[in-house]
Structure 1
Amino acid sequence: MVKVLLAGATGYLGGYIAQELMKRNYFTRLVIRNINKLEGKGNTFDEFLEAEVTKPSTLKNCCTDIDVVISTVGITRQKDNLTYMDVDYQANINLLNEARRSNVKKFIYVSVLNGDTLKNLKICEAKEKFVNELVNSGLDYCIIRPNGFFSDMIEFYKMAKRGRVYLLGDGTMKANPIHGEDLAKVCVDAIEKHEKEIEVGGPEILTQRDVADIAFCVSGNKKTITYIPEWMIKITLKLMRRITKSQVYGPIEFFLTVACMDMVAPKNGSHTLKEYFESNKNI
């Protein structure tokens, strides 16, 4: 039986990966920061390790008897004054060191689509620095590069519920975000596959205008859209870099940058954005 260690199991994607591993009867050891976050979820996993991935001492021997490590560790919303280098890079290095020490066969890491060409962004700089370390680690590996998550797109629905959606540029930039459940299947499939990198998006290629239309349709509100010119976005980013810490401008920098470019990956999965918005009507 292949034994898997999953780090980041209580996050949006990590939760779906944990469920998928359980469905496929993989022996699963979860590394979680707070075991109480799993209470009430109704899942029974083989083992738990309560640890701080940013603190190497808490991870000691975490990979003993493990065949494959899957890491979704990364900052999605800044907290605890930790930086991207602290988490997206160093915390994953801590896991990688343990994996090498225990002779783990494969390390699967979830990065971001086009991260290798967006290293000027703080989040991508940290992620790609780890990717380089993983590639040169001597371990078998797979880098998963997903497009945006449905959980990120929920902000469009929240705006539509309030009556107005703000779009960047002319709203024609395209993306195919993916549901966590669909992405989890790709991540678990990678255990047995031989690809070193997998780019993956959802089944629908949508413009920002399309996303706004879906959001207003589900909310039931009249469509009202305000377009923010790109020159204003560029000025905002420059000012934020100068006057705020990375904990503040990092997530905004990433969102504003990728929203001003096409982010299209190979189609995968079956969940649609409309279904996701409908399932979160009361958010």
Structure 2
Amino acid sequence: MGVYIAKELQQRSCFFKAIARNPEKLEQNGIKANEMLKAKLTDPDSIKECCKGIDIVISTVGITKQKDGLTYMDVDYQANMNLLKEAKKSGVKKFIYISVLNGEKLRNLKICDAKELFVEQLKQSGMNYCIVRPNGFFSDMSEFFKMAKKGRIYLFGKGKFKANPIHGEDLASFCVDAIDKPDTEVEIGGPETLTQNEIASIAFEVLGNKPKITHIPDWIRIAILKLVRSLTGSKVYGPVEFFMTVMAMDMLAPEYGKHNLKEYFTKLNSANA
């Protein structure tokens, strides 16, 4: 998500400083920040005075896929706390944080608990803030496309749960707009509300294949969750429990943006051709 934010700032000719573990990734995407700091937010010493001369902080910090042996508390909570401390010390005017839709209702999930702990600290910091709550990304929907390429998509229940995931470009535009808006907490989704069955059908349509969808009884999902939680540590089951939980509920937020899922799947198909 950080790449999309940087691209949006660059397109608007904003002065911005980027903090990244791998600056090369930004450069590979054609991004040239006015200032670049190679650092790990989990290491407070590496980001000392990183916010000096900065008015606005936009944090996309969070674990998407488990790596480096770090936990959600290490990254989604503590790394953001390290950044918040620097922001306060340097007199930053506003802190924009990208969290997750329904995070406050899903505190039983490791990822959501870590994010919400930080949200609580941000709200109590005395700093102007905006918490942005997207309901899911197009990149998450790529799992549907991967299954479709293998010939069959598996869904829990009847596939009738709805979502309107958002493209990273649309979310980046929204977050940069939030700099000048008074909102302190906003929910956001993409412009298209679809059932899981409809998402699956779009994936097969793009591939030019007849839809093959298997609906798995929800009790199996619950059993798998219990099994994974009992047999593995949080570093393994964290992503699994989040995915399997949100797949069994509606994830709806106000519609925003211009990108649609068929366009995204078409690009995935072209890239993998």
- 1:29 equivalenced with 2:49 (yes/no): no
1:261 aligned residue (249, 255, 258): 249
Distance 2:127 2:215 in 1: 47
Would the aligned equivalents of 2:3 and 2:26 in 1 still touch at CA under 8 Å?
A: no
Distance 1:39 1:100 in 2: 29
Would the aligned equivalents of 1:218 and 1:274 in 2 still touch at CA under 8 Å?
A: yes
**1:234-259 CA-partner distances (Å, limit 9, x unpaired):** 11111111110111110010010011
Distance 2:228 2:59 in 1: 30
Counterpart residue number, 2:83: 95
**1:124-183 CA-partner distances (Å, limit 9, x unpaired):** 000000000000001000000001100010110111111100111110000000000001
1:113 aligned residue (101, 111, 123): 101
Counterpart residue number, 1:243: 231
Counterpart residue number, 2:118: 130
Distance 2:28 2:58 in 1: 24
Distance 1:40 1:160 in 2: 30
Would the aligned equivalents of 2:159 and 2:215 in 1 still touch at CA under 8 Å?
A: yes
- 1:154 equivalenced with 2:142 (yes/no): yes
**1:82-115 CA-partner distances (Å, limit 9, x unpaired):** 0000000000000000001101000000000010
Q: What is the CA-CA distance between 1:116 and the residue it aligns to? A: 0.7
- 1:220 equivalenced with 2:203 (yes/no): no
Aligned sequence identity (%): 62
Counterpart residue number, 1:40: 28
Q: What is the CA-CA distance between 1:223 and the residue it aligns to? A: 1.2
Distance 2:51 2:67 in 1: 27
Q: What is the CA-CA distance between 1:216 and the residue it aligns to? A: 0.3
Aligned to 1:190, the other structure's residue is in SS state helix
Structure 1 stretches of at least 4 aligned residues deviating more than 4 Å after TM superposition: none
Say how many residue pairs are matched. 271
Q: What is the CA-CA distance between 1:39 and the residue it aligns to? A: 3.1
Deviates more, 1:116-125 or 1:38-47: 38-47
- 1:193 equivalenced with 2:181 (yes/no): yes
Q: What is the CA-CA distance between 1:43 and the residue it aligns to? A: 2.5
Aligned to 1:211, the other structure's residue is in SS state helix
- TM-score by length of structure 1 reads 0.94
**1:178-232 CA-partner distances (Å, limit 9, x unpaired):** 0000010110011000000010000011000000000000011221111111111
One-letter amino acid of the structure 2 residue matched with residue 88 of structure 1: D
One-letter amino acid of the structure 1 residue matched with residue 247 of structure 2: A
Structure 1 gap ranges (5+): 1-12
- 1:72 equivalenced with 2:60 (yes/no): yes
Counterpart residue number, 2:195: 207
Distance 2:97 2:217 in 1: 35
Would the aligned equivalents of 2:26 and 2:32 in 1 still touch at CA under 8 Å?
A: no
Counterpart residue number, 2:160: 172
One-letter amino acid of the structure 1 residue matched with residue 60 of structure 2: T
Distance 2:34 2:183 in 1: 28
Distance 1:271 1:53 in 2: 31
- TM-score by length of structure 2 reads 0.98
Distance 1:259 1:72 in 2: 23
Would the aligned equivalents of 2:163 and 2:195 in 1 still touch at CA under 8 Å?
A: yes
Counterpart residue number, 1:231: 219
Distance 2:225 2:207 in 1: 31
Structure 2 gap ranges (5+): none
Would the aligned equivalents of 1:182 and 1:270 in 2 still touch at CA under 8 Å?
A: yes
Deviates more, 1:50-59 or 1:218-227: 218-227
